[in-house]
Amino acid sequence: MPKMKTKSSAKKRFKMTASGRVKAGQAGKRHGMIKRTRKFIRNARGTTVLSKQDEGIVKTYMPYNR
């Protein structure tokens, strides 16, 4: 049986935590920061853990990182 493929885009954008959750960077900070509130910019720093529903989608793209 051939190896299963991993989506290269998912491999670059997501990391797995030790407990098996999916970690991703916060969205919405590419441009237009002038009209954003300070609270939004502050809260969009760093990474976040995805919800269970989104986690299920991402895990199908990364079969070897379960």
Q: Provide the residue ranges of all domains of the chain, joining segments of one domain with +.
A: 8-61
CA distance 49 to 16: 9
- What is the pTM assigned to this prediction? 0.81
Q: Provide the pLDDT confidence category of residue 65 given band limits of 50, 70 and 90.
A: confident
| Distance from C-alpha of 36 to C-alpha of 60, rounded to nearest angstrom | 34
Class of domain 8-61: few secondary structures
| Phi, psi dihedrals of residue 38, rounded to the nearest 5° | -60, -35
Residue 1 reports pLDDT greater than 90: no
What 8-state DSSP symbol labels residue 24? E
Each residue's pLDDT tens digit, 9-59:
999 999 999 999 999 999 999 999 999 999 999 999 999 999 999 999 999
CA-based nearest residue to 65, from 13, 2, 6:
6
- Which residue type occupies 34? I
